[in-house]
């Protein structure tokens, strides 16, 4: 039995739209920060005693599209290792819903790493990233720690993530602001599909996101929080603009999302280096320096209360336990 641990990540330049939904090839490159604290542990063994794959997540049998995607990853591993045995998979998410973060990135990164090793494969991180991508696009990035760049690529082999800066030795962290834990009405997979098909803003989104890859990489390497945060906030707003333009129009924003975005902008006008990003849901992540955490926690708590806030630091890539 092999166990791997992978952490969640937050995209600073987002993945939003598939050019190929079988291979999960995105339209544009994305850049993320892997977080500490929130992770998934996944154990895998291939056994001749099993008739079919047995997969449980948090002690419940996996079903639906999660099961289809997990089997896709296991089938790829079996193909590469030239084995035909079924697998037993136990996965535990340490991603509290109270943080408002998704667990698919950490889950599929941990599954890719654990299943490859359990099948006797020795894959480098690029190959693991390609494998994880078949489970969930954002999982390709969780193979690596710190700041990570997922190259959109044009085919299976050219669409992978790599490290920009694995050890983050400068002052940047993130405050997660939980607004709603209810399951969202439009999943990311369906949301991006609708936007690709119907939003006239989609091509402009892809162009703007791709144009920001070089400046974002430079901001990271120069440890420039203001530049990084500005680019990340602009990128998030452009991603959400595509949803307003879709037919039918939709949004992940809720009233409190806008209240937090406004507070962050107001504080920035007063000189605090803080920037918002929002994924496919109502929750906000505020990018800031540790030195400003106290002030931000106080101001944000006025809107959502202290229990809705938690601090995340840069975290490591996938490891074996």
* Piece of the chain touching ligand 2P0 by CB under 6 A; list 10-18, 82-90, 214-222, 311-319: 10-18
Under the criterion CB under 6 A, does residue 129 sit at the interface with ligand 2P0? no
Under the criterion CB under 6 A, does residue 100 sit at the interface with ligand 2P0? no
Under the criterion CB under 6 A, does residue 16 sit at the interface with ligand 2P0? yes
Under the criterion CB under 6 A, does residue 90 sit at the interface with ligand 2P0? no
Residue closer to ligand 2P0 by CB (options 80, 189) is 189
Residue closer to ligand 2P0 by CB (options 117, 141) is 141
CA end-to-end distance (rounded Å), the chain = 11
SS3 245: coil
Residue closer to ligand 2P0 by CB (options 80, 187) is 187
By CB under 6 A, name the one of 2, 24, 25, 264 that touches ligand 2P0: 24
Q: Is the dihedral of CA 107, 110, 114, 116 positive or negative?
A: positive
Look at strands 54-57 and 86-94 and give their pairing.
parallel
* Piece of the chain touching ligand 2P0 by CB under 6 A; list 8-16, 43-51, 83-91, 311-319: 8-16
Number of residues that bind ligand 2P0 (CB under 6 A): 15
Residue 286 neighbours by CB distance under 10 Å: 28
Buried b (16+ CB within 10 A) or exposed e, 48-70: eeeeebebebeeeebeeebeebb
Under the criterion CB under 6 A, does residue 15 sit at the interface with ligand 2P0? yes
| Least distance (Å) between residue 20 CB and ligand 2P0 | 11
- Convert residues 30-49 into a mask of x (bound to ligand 2P0 by CB under 6 A) and - (unbound): x-------------------
Under the criterion CB under 6 A, does residue 189 sit at the interface with ligand 2P0? yes
Under the criterion CB under 6 A, does residue 11 sit at the interface with ligand 2P0? yes
Q: Which residues ranging from 278 to 297 are in contact with ligand 2P0 (CB under 6 A)?
A: 279-280
| Interatomic CA distance for residues 45 and 130, integer angstroms | 21
H/E stretch holding 227 reads: helix 225-244
| Least distance (Å) between residue 170 CB and ligand 2P0 | 22
Q: Which residues ranging from 216 to 275 are in contact with ligand 2P0 (CB under 6 A)?
A: none
Return all residues near 255 (Cβ < 8 A) that are at least 6 apart: none
SS3 255: helix
Q: Is the dihedral of CA 42, 43, 44, 47 positive or negative?
A: negative
Residue 73 neighbours by CB distance under 10 Å: 24
Any idea what the Cα angle at residue 222 is, between residues 278 and 240, rounded to 5°? 15
Give backbone dihedrals phi and psi of 316, rounded to 5 degrees, phi first.
-90, 170
| Least distance (Å) between residue 104 CB and ligand 2P0 | 4
Nearest to 291 by CA among 269, 274, 268: 274
Under the criterion CB under 6 A, does residue 212 sit at the interface with ligand 2P0? no
| Least distance (Å) between residue 190 CB and ligand 2P0 | 9
* Piece of the chain touching ligand 2P0 by CB under 6 A; list 132-140, 164-172, 224-232, 312-320: 132-140
- Please report, as ranges, the residues that interact with ligand 2P0 according to CB under 6 A: 11, 14-16, 24, 30, 102, 104, 136-138, 188-189, 279-280
């Amino acid at each position: 039995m092999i166990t791997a641990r992978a952490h969640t990540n937050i995209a600073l330049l987002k993945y939003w739209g598939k050019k190929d939904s079988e291979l999960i090839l995105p339209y544009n490159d994305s850049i993320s920060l892997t977080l500490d604290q929130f992770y998934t542990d996944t154990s895998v063994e291939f056994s001749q005693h099993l008739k079919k794959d047995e997969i449980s997540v948090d002690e419940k049998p996996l079903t639906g599209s999660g099961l289809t995607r997990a089997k896709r990853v296991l089938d790829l591993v079996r193909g590469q290792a030239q084995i035909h045995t079924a697998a037993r998979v136990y996965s535990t998410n340490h991603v509290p819903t109270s943080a408002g973060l998704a667990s698919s990135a950490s889950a599929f990164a941990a599954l890719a790493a654990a299943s490859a090793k359990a099948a006797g494969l020795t894959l480098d991180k690029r190959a693991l990233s390609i494998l994880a991508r078949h489970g969930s696009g954002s999982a390709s990035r969780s193979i690596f720690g710190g700041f990570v760049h997922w190259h959109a690529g044009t085919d299976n082999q050219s669409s992978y993530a790599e490290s920009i800066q694995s050890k983050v030795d400068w002052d940047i962290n993130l405050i997660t602001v939980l607004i709603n834990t209810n399951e969202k009405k439009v999943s990311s997979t369906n949301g991006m599909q609708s936007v690709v098909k119907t939003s006239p803003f989609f091509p402009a989104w892809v162009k703007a996101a791709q144009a920001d890859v070089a400046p974002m990489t430079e901001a990271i390497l120069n440890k420039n929080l203001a530049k990084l945060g500005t680019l990340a906030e602009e990128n998030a707003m452009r991603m959400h603009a595509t949803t307003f333009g879709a037919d039918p129009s939709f949004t992940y924003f809720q009233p409190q999302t806008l209240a937090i975005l406004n507070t962050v902008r107001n504080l920035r006008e007063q000189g605090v280096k803080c920037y918002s990003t929002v994924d496919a849901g109502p929750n906000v992540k505020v990018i800031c320096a540790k030195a400003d955490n106290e002030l931000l926690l106080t101001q944000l708590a006025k809107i959502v209360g202290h229990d809705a806030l938690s601090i995340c630091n840069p975290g490591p890539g996938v490891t074996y336990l």
